[in-house]
Structure 1
Amino acid sequence: MSPRSQGYVFVAITMCIWGGFTITSRLNAQWGISAWDITALRFALAFCILMPILIYKKDTAFLWKKRPFLLAMIGGVGYCLTSYSAFHYVPAAHAAIFLNGCIPLCTAVAGFLLFKEPFDRHTWISLMIMLAAIGIMSFLMYQETGIAFGFGDMLFFFSAIWWGIFTVLLRQWKLSAWHAMTSVAIWSALIYVPIYLVFLPKNLTEPQPLDLVLQVIFHGIFVVMIATLAYVEAIKRLGAFKTGSIVTLAPFIAAILAVPLLNEPLSRAIIFGLIGMAVGALQPWRWFMHKDSLQQKIKQQKEQLK
């Protein structure tokens, strides 16, 4: 397979897992699996798999630094608790809008506030489209239900803030995909699991054992490990913009699939929000202006040979 074909395979893997995250996280709420429980079990399983590998490879020195710890607290514990909790209050479609749709916005704002990264013209256009979409959608929701924003929507927005900060820090600190993934999983388990065992409520008897096992395997292995590595490999072959644009579609597709699969409503306000946030996040006008990294490398090689 060519590098480009490999890239699309990795993109497909990432999309399936990210879309599955939206559906299965909503199922957690329906099956009685609390955010406290799934967060602890997810990181506990990842820790049991990854820590022996790091010890065997004698690759644990990077863990004992401040940066991996901070990444785990923001992109691991903070993100998981708010996002998993939000699914207990609002349908899956709200995650596509207030979580995945707002991540580009929060990432751009975090980059500006933390490292003075300027907004380019495309970012400004995206921000205006997304803010307008949220404003109009909120107005329509208020007309339909009398509530413009719910508590779950606020939790999703906090999750987008955590992930935006996490993305900016990861980009600035330049950790490898392997070190970023393992540090988030291991430090999250080391800090959160003991707190969960001693202080936090547990609800492990209500869910069916098979449901609980399936959720832990999916979120602990597929979401934490496989999706992260597949996403990074796709970026290497297709470039960050094209990869990010394609995989961002996954939660929006999952929100539509949740209507027949989970019997969730899809109102006029939600449809408008999905379309507006998808356009703002994907920036489709840039597809015709952007070359992937593979094309750029080939062009550079040809120029060097001249």
Structure 2
Amino acid sequence: MSPRSQGYLYILITMCIWGGFTITSRLNALWHISPYDITALRFALAFCILMPILIYKKDTAFLWKKEPFILAMIGGVIYCLTSYSAFHYVPAAHAAIFLNGCIPLCTAVAAFVLFKQPFDKHTWISLIIMLSAIALMSYLMYQATGVAFGFGDLLFFLSAIWWGIFTVLLKNWKLSAWHSMAGVAIWSAIIYVPIYILFIPKHLSDASVVHLTIQTIFHGIFVVMVATLAYVEAIKRLGAFKTGSIVTLAPFIAAIIAVPMLGEPLSPAIICGLIGMGIGALQPWRWLGHKDPLQTHLDQQKEKMSKS
């Protein structure tokens, strides 16, 4: 397979798991599984699997670099706590709009803030579409309920910011997929699990053992390991923008599936938000022949440094 084809295969794998993430994270709220509990369980399981492998392979030196630790704090602990918490306040469709719909935009902003990568005309068009969709959606929601946005929507948007920063740093630091995934999982467990054990109230008895087992395996193995590996490999082959945009489809599809599966509402306001944010996030007009602007900018920076 060509690198391009490999990239799309990795995107497909990521989409399946991210779509499942949206559904299962909402089920956490319905199954009375605390966001603090599932965050601890997912990283504890990943740690128990990955750490022995790294020790056996004598491949632990990379853990002492700053990059895996920073990625773990941003794309691991903080992202999980905010995103899991948000699902306890709002339906799955809100995640598609305020989390996954905003990830490409937050990625572009992070690239500008961290690496001075300016917005191109496509990003501005996307921004206008997204803001228009959010404005219309908020108006319709306010007319129907008297409330435009909720606390869960804010948490989702914060999660999009964390993931945008995480994506840009991944692209810049060029860690291998294995080191990226293992570093995030292990450092997240090392930092968060002791804090959870010592200071955070547990609600494990509120959920059934079967539900806890299902969620721990899915989030600890498929989300932490498989999806992270596939996502990083896709970024390496297709770029941060195209990868972040296409995988956005999965949560939008999951939001539609959640309507009959979880009995969640789909109001005109939510439909408006899904369509507008979907178009703005995917930016279908620039898929063909697109070269990742962040990668171009980083290559130019390295070329200047090599000449100097």
Distance (whole Å) between structure 2 residues aligned to residue 72 and residue 220 of structure 1: 14
Q: 1:117 to 1:7 in 2, by over 3 A?
A: closer
Matched, 1:30 2:7: no
Q: Quote how far apart the aligned CAs of 1:175 are.
A: 1.5
Aligned to 1:176: 176
Distance (whole Å) between structure 2 residues aligned to residue 76 and residue 207 of structure 1: 23
Aligned to 1:10: 10
Matched, 1:80 2:85: no
Q: Quote how far apart the aligned CAs of 1:291 are.
A: 7.7
Distance (whole Å) between structure 2 residues aligned to residue 239 and residue 43 of structure 1: 27
Matched, 1:56 2:60: no
Aligned to 2:69: 69
Distance (whole Å) between structure 2 residues aligned to residue 237 and residue 171 of structure 1: 11
Secondary structure class of the residue paired with 1:205: helix
State the identity as a percent.
82
Within a 5 Å distance, the mapping from 1:95-110 to structure 2 comes to: 95-110=95-110
Q: 1:241 to 1:225 in 2, by over 3 A?
A: same
Distance (whole Å) between structure 2 residues aligned to residue 86 and residue 75 of structure 1: 16
Aligned to 2:205: 205
Aligned to 2:47: 47
Matched, 1:268 2:268: yes
Matched, 1:248 2:248: yes
Distance (whole Å) between structure 2 residues aligned to residue 119 and residue 243 of structure 1: 18
Q: Kindly provide the CA deviation profile for residues 69-128 of structure 1, in whole angstroms up to 9, marking residues without a partner as x.
A: 111111100000000000000000000000001111111112212221111111111111
Distance (whole Å) between structure 1 residues aligned to residue 69 and residue 235 of structure 2: 25
Q: 1:288 to 1:4 in 2, by over 3 A?
A: closer
Distance (whole Å) between structure 2 residues aligned to residue 243 and residue 168 of structure 1: 12
Q: Quote how far apart the aligned CAs of 1:183 are.
A: 0.9
Within a 5 Å distance, the mapping from 1:130-169 to structure 2 comes to: 130-169=130-169
Q: 1:260 to 1:15 in 2, by over 3 A?
A: same
Distance (whole Å) between structure 1 residues aligned to residue 181 and residue 251 of structure 2: 21
Distance (whole Å) between structure 2 residues aligned to residue 175 and residue 138 of structure 1: 40
Distance (whole Å) between structure 2 residues aligned to residue 238 and residue 198 of structure 1: 42
Please report the TM-score for the alignment, with normalisation by the length of structure 2: 0.90
Range with bigger deviation, 121-130 or 195-204: 121-130
Range with bigger deviation, 164-173 or 214-223: 164-173
Unaligned runs of 5+ in 1: 293-306
Q: Quote how far apart the aligned CAs of 1:164 are.
A: 1.2
Distance (whole Å) between structure 1 residues aligned to residue 110 and residue 3 of structure 2: 32
Q: Which amino acid in 2 is paired with 1:171? A: K
Aligned to 1:229: 229
Q: Which amino acid in 1 is paired with 2:70? A: L
Q: 1:192 to 1:260 in 2, by over 3 A?
A: same
Q: Quote how far apart the aligned CAs of 1:260 are.
A: 0.2
Distance (whole Å) between structure 1 residues aligned to residue 10 and residue 164 of structure 2: 23
Distance (whole Å) between structure 2 residues aligned to residue 31 and residue 289 of structure 1: 44
The number of equivalent residue pairs is 292
Q: Quote how far apart the aligned CAs of 1:4 are.
A: 5.6
Distance (whole Å) between structure 1 residues aligned to residue 173 and residue 238 of structure 2: 22
Please report the TM-score for the alignment, with normalisation by the length of structure 1: 0.90
Distance (whole Å) between structure 2 residues aligned to residue 81 and residue 185 of structure 1: 14
Q: Quote how far apart the aligned CAs of 1:192 are.
A: 0.3
Q: Quote how far apart the aligned CAs of 1:243 are.
A: 4.0
Q: Quote how far apart the aligned CAs of 1:234 are.
A: 3.9
Q: Quote how far apart the aligned CAs of 1:170 are.
A: 1.8
Aligned alpha-carbon RMSD (Å)? 1.8
Distance (whole Å) between structure 1 residues aligned to residue 150 and residue 95 of structure 2: 12
Distance (whole Å) between structure 1 residues aligned to residue 93 and residue 233 of structure 2: 28
Within a 5 Å distance, the mapping from 1:295-306 to structure 2 comes to: none
